[in-house]
Amino acid sequence: MPIQTINPYNNQLLKQYDELTQEQLDAKLQIAHNAYRFWKQSDIKIRKDLLLKVASLFRERKQELAKLITIEMGKLIAQSESEVEMVASVYEYYAKNAAEFLKDRPMEIEDGKAFVRLSPIGIILGVEPWNYPFNQVARLAAPNIMAGNVVAIKHASNVPQCAEMIENIFREAGAPHGVYTNLFLSGKRISKLGEDSRIAGMSLTGSEAAGSSLGESAGRNLKKSVLELGGSDAFIVLDDADIDLAVEKAYLGRFANMGQACTSAKRFIVMDAVADEFLSKLQQKIANLKVGDPLDPETQVGPLSTQDAVDKLHQQVQETVAAGATILAGGKPIDREGAFYELTILADIKPGMVAYHQELFGPVASFYRVRTEKEAVELANDTNFGLGGVVFSQDVDRAVNVASQMETGMVFINENLASRPDLPFGGVKRSGYGRELSPLGIEEFVNKKLIRIA
């Protein structure tokens, strides 16, 4: 895939970059390796000051950076601004809390003394997606740089200006050369990097296929890896739920970022007693929204990230409908310039259909009716994915009981699943393994070294 910016609002090519040669790549990795040798010994206050400066620069440039997100991948400008704020909060969170997270951990033993010390391991390679081009990077970079590692990032090929900007911000903040390194590479070259002895760990957020490839490379070369892959999150509405609240959250949970999030509420599983009310109100909610330029604050429906994303999504919808599913809203590309797709609701989806089994990475919701809690949980778990989920009920104990039965890494009750610096993020099954954010996020790529004193 070419490394280039194509504005999805009008499909115009704005900028393109050359891929690194092997010689250039080797030189960058050597600089990063040299940087690690002294960064791992740096005082944690130096690391803290760096990340606080990075956070400050993101906030100072929020308008500029938000516009860059929107131009490269189509996010509505208000949502892009929110992403920049989140990025700053991630860097601040680890800057302020890493010293506590990294403290020696005494062991309770019968004789003598022992403790566990967390220490860095080297260059951490991150392969990052386009849907949150600044935030996804921060979740890897912030904890690892605070831990004393250095990071090298292969970003998605359709957001190269965002990728370049992150490296520029780190340099402006005073990061030593090599502490943060941007790599303009094609995806097919990533698995080969697992063979490089300078790479100590590998992390990927992206598709199952990409995750399988990186995980295989990491395993073959005995490297630690963290994978955050796809999702088909269930949005369960029990019969005692506040339906107006559930509908409002369903709209945001499925259609924010035009549905292009691993943790979007992709499957609405609603109990019969409230299904008609929920569906009717949701249909009203998505009707007659303003479609247009994502840089216009009045726009409610923007483009998807690329025309290829539109084409793939529409094929999935067509195959599902051809197999017997029903379109309750939308169902096709919007007839205008750019990578636009209608907000869509599918129903009558059965096992064997594309929408039942595959992740729909765009503004398409799958609607299911169920009779009982048991049926809701069984349907929620009938997927190869296990990233997140949501339960709506006015009886919190009941909702927690349902949540405890869901085979996912995260469940939120009476609110949408959200990424926060202080909460762990990650999944199970084919949604990947490992955790980002929270104290757990800084523990993934460190040596938990036991020191025993007789």
pLDDT 10s digits, 104-140 = 999 999 999 999 999 999 999 999 999 999 999 999 9
**Topology of 233-420 in CATH?**
Aldehyde Dehydrogenase; Chain A, domain 2 (3.40.309)
What are the start and end residues of each CATH 3.40.605.10 domain in the chain? Answer: 4-229+431-453
Report pLDDT for 39: 98
Q: Please give the span between the terminal C-alpha atoms of the chain, in angstroms, as a whole number.
A: 57
Residues listed for the chain: 454
pLDDT at position 336: 96
Element containing residue 58 per DSSP (H, E): helix 44-60
Annotate 252-277 with three-state secondary structure: HHHHHHHHCCCCCEEEEEEEHHHHHH
Return the closest-CA partner of residue 297 out of 53, 450, 77, 82.
77
Query: What is the pLDDT at residue 378?
Result: 98
Query: Bridge-partner residues for 291, per DSSP?
Result: 301
Query: For position 33, what pLDDT does the model report?
Result: 98
What amino acid occupies position 451?
Answer: I
Active site residue 162: no
Which is it for strands 326-329 and 344-347: parallel, antiparallel or unpaired? antiparallel
Pick the catalytic residue: 228, 342, 359, 373?
A: 228
Q: What mean pLDDT value characterizes the chain?
A: 97
Q: Catalytic: 228? A: yes
Confidence band (pLDDT; 50, 70, 90) for 170? very high
Q: Find where tokens 């000051």 sit.
A: 49
- Which residue type sits at 368? Y
Q: In one letter, which amino acid is 369?
A: R
The CA-based angle 440-154-32, given to 5 degrees, is: 80
In contact, 90 and 52? CB cutoff 8 Å:
no
Residues 82, 404: Cα–Cα separation, whole Å: 31
pLDDT at 342 over 90: yes
Picking from 289, 298, 365, 296, the residue whose alpha carbon sits closest to that of residue 334 is: 289
Fold of the domain built from segment(s) 4-229+431-453:
Aldehyde Dehydrogenase; Chain A, domain 1 (3.40.605)
If you ran DSSP here, which 8-state letter would residue 18 be given? P
Tokens describing residue 155: 């970003």
**What's the whole-number mean pLDDT along residues 308-336?**
98
Q: Of 262, 342, 359, 436, which one is the catalytic site residue? A: 262
Per-residue model confidence as pLDDT tens digits over 386-430: 999 999 999 999 999 999 999 999 999 999 999 999 999 999 999
- DSSP structure string for 84-142: HHHHHHHHHHHHHHHHHHTS-EE---SSSEEEEEEEE-SEEEEE--SSSTTHHHHHHHH
The 10 Å Cβ neighbour count of residue 171 is 13
Contact 158, 34 (CB under 8 A): no
Sign of CA dihedral 15, 228, 94, 88: positive
CA–CA gap between residue 266 and residue 256 (Å, rounded): 12
Over pLDDT 70: what percentage of the chain?
100
Report the predicted TM-score, pTM, of the whole model to 2 decimal places. Answer: 0.97
Instruction: Report pLDDT for 445.
Output: 98
Annotate 363-404 with DSSP letters as a single string: SEEEEEEESSHHHHHHHHHSSSEES-EEEE-S-HHHHHHHHH
- Whose CA is closest to 152, among 176, 171, 179, 191? 179
Please say if the pLDDT value at position 1 is more than 90: no
Which residue intervals of the chain bear CATH 3.40.309.10? Answer: 233-420
Q: Beta strand pairing status for 364-370 and 265-271?
A: parallel
